[in-house]
């Protein structure tokens, strides 16, 4: 029997959630525990993930061996001059897991770019929220990783991009604020700017930004404030509206967006996607917001990795991976 004062943790592909003191489990809670216990097995590809998603590599940075998966587009014999996309996992994730959830390796094959799926130290990026244990120099590591790969494979340094979900999306936003000159564009999913980054950092140049957020996200709230899983608080972020205004004002975009509604692929799921595009920025650095109305803490078009009453709903009206690449493909540093 589990002692009453034990601390419970919920593992997910994106988060390791400390959910407080344990109490005797109800039938529904036991069912959840059974589902969650299956996640590590579900998260691993039935085939060798290294062969499926890319080559397993490591590099030393700041005295730490850092791991990543590298996907060179299949069928392309000379990758010189191709773009590079950094795809960042969420908390308690890995490069393999985010590659599986997003299918960015397949997108690299289809569209002809190089994708890299790095691992955070301790499965959590130092995204600037100031959480305990966030000491790794991830801005330095990811900047060095991009530079090393561009040098080794003679990739196009003017077309380096970063994206991610949740903790990985926040890390992509921090890269945009602190290593602006390295990236042609960034994108985030189910994420916002950590409050300390919002207060202290200013990008050094205009930067195109794509944001895909659900307005019913129970983990990273649309209105900002505490990032929370059950009773566990994981730092604070600004609201989606503040984040959009941050980038719109920095880029010098027009304050009024163009608004379009995307086709409703599933009229019965209670979700719609509204696209707000802010144009007129310096160097054409526009800001685009996908508002997933009714959407949760998920990668649109990806898998529903936990029940919707835990993380909210996953939208099927868009394929976030394809939309992100389409956005990236329009910009060069």
Q: What's the CA gap between 182 and 160, in Å, rounded?
A: 7
Q: What's the CA gap between 324 and 209, in Å, rounded?
A: 10
Q: What is the CATH number of the domain that holds 206?
A: 3.40.50.1820
Nearest to 273 by CA among 208, 221, 223, 216: 216
- Please tell me the predicted confidence (pLDDT) of residue 35: 37
**Position 302 in a domain:** yes
**Position 200 in a domain:** yes
* Overall domain count for the chain: 1
Inter-CA distances, 122 with 45, 88, 109, 136, Å? 21, 14, 30, 10
Query: String of b and e for 208-247 (b: at least 16 CB within 10 Å)?
Result: bbbbbbbbbbbbbbbebeebbbeebebbbbbbbeebbebb
Nearest to 296 by CA among 180, 217, 206: 217
In what helix (H) or strand (E) does residue 237 lie, and over which residues does it extend? strand 232-237
- Please tell me the predicted confidence (pLDDT) of residue 101: 92
Is-contact 311 297, C-beta < 8 A?
A: yes
**Position 129 in a domain:** yes
Q: Is the dihedral of CA 69, 72, 75, 78 positive or negative?
A: negative
Inter-CA distances, 238 with 165, 265, 272, Å? 16, 31, 23
Is-contact 117 95, C-beta < 8 A?
A: yes
**Position 333 in a domain:** no
CA atoms within 13 A on the CB side of 226: 7
**Position 269 in a domain:** yes
Residue by residue, what is the 3-state secondary structure of 163-218?
EEECHHHHHHHHHHHHCHHHCCEEEEECCCCEHHHHHHCCCCCCCCEEEEEECCCC
**Position 2 in a domain:** no
Residue 208 — φ and ψ, nearest 5°? -65, 135
Residue 273 — φ and ψ, nearest 5°? -115, 120
Q: How far is CA 3 from the centre of its chain?
A: 36
Q: What is the pLDDT along the chain (333 residues), one digit of tens a residue?
A: 333 333 333 334 444 333 333 334 344 444 443 333 333 333 333 445 555 899 999 999 999 999 999 999 999 999 999 999 999 999 999 999 999 999 999 999 999 999 999 999 999 999 999 888 779 999 999 999 999 999 999 999 999 999 999 999 999 999 999 999 999 999 999 999 999 999 988 899 999 999 999 999 999 999 999 998 878 899 999 999 999 999 999 999 999 999 999 999 889 899 999 999 999 999 999 999 999 999 999 999 998 878 888 899 999 999 999 999 999 999 999
DSSP 78-139: --TT--EEEEE--TT--HHHHHHHH-HHHHHHHHT-EEEEEPPGGG----SS--TT--S-HH
Radius of gyration of the chain (CA): 19
Range of the domain at 293: 7-328
**Position 264 in a domain:** yes
Is-contact 99 54, C-beta < 8 A?
A: yes
**Position 1 in a domain:** no
Burial of 57 (0-12, 13-18, 19+ CB in 10 A): middle
């Amino acid at each position: 029997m589990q002692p009453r004062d034990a601390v419970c943790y919920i593992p997910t592909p994106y988060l390791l959630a400390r959910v407080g003191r344990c109490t005797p489990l109800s039938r529904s809670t036991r069912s959840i525990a059974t589902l969650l216990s299956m996640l590590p097995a579900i998260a691993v590809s039935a085939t060798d993930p290294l062969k499926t998603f890319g080559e397993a590599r490591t590099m030393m940075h700041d005295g730490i061996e850092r791991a990543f998966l590298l996907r060179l587009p299949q069928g392309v014999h000379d990758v010189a001059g191709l773009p590079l996309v950094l795809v960042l996992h969420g908390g308690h994730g890995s490069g393999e897991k985010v590659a599986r959830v997003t299918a960015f390796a397949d997108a690299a094959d289809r569209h002809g770019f190089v994708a890299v799926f790095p691992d955070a130290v301790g499965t959590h990026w130092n995204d600037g929220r100031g959480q305990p244990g966030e000491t790794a120099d991830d801005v330095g590591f990811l900047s060095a990783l991009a530079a090393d790969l561009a040098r080794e494979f003679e990739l196009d340094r003017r077309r380096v991009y970063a994206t991610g979900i949740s903790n990985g999306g926040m890390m992509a936003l921090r890269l945009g604020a602190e290593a602006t000159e390295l990236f042609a564009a960034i994108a985030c999913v189910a994420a916002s700017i950590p409050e300390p980054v919002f207060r202290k950092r200013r990008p050094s140049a205009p930067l195109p930004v794509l944001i895909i957020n659900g307005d019913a996200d129970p983990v990273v709230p649309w209105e900002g404030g505490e990032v929370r899983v059950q009773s566990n608080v994981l730092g604070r972020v600004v609201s989606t509206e503040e984040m959009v205004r941050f980038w719109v004002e920095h880029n010098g975009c027009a304050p009024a967006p163009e608004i379009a509604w995307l086709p409703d692929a599933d009229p019965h799921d209670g979700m719609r996607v509204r696209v707000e595009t802010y144009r007129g920025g310096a160097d054409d650095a526009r800001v685009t917001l996908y508002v997933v109305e009714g959407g949760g803490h998920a990668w649109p078009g990806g898998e529903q990795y936990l029940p919707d009453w835990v993380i909210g709903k996953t939208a099927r009206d868009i394929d976030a991976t394809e939309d992100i690449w389409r956005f990236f493909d329009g910009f060069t540093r």
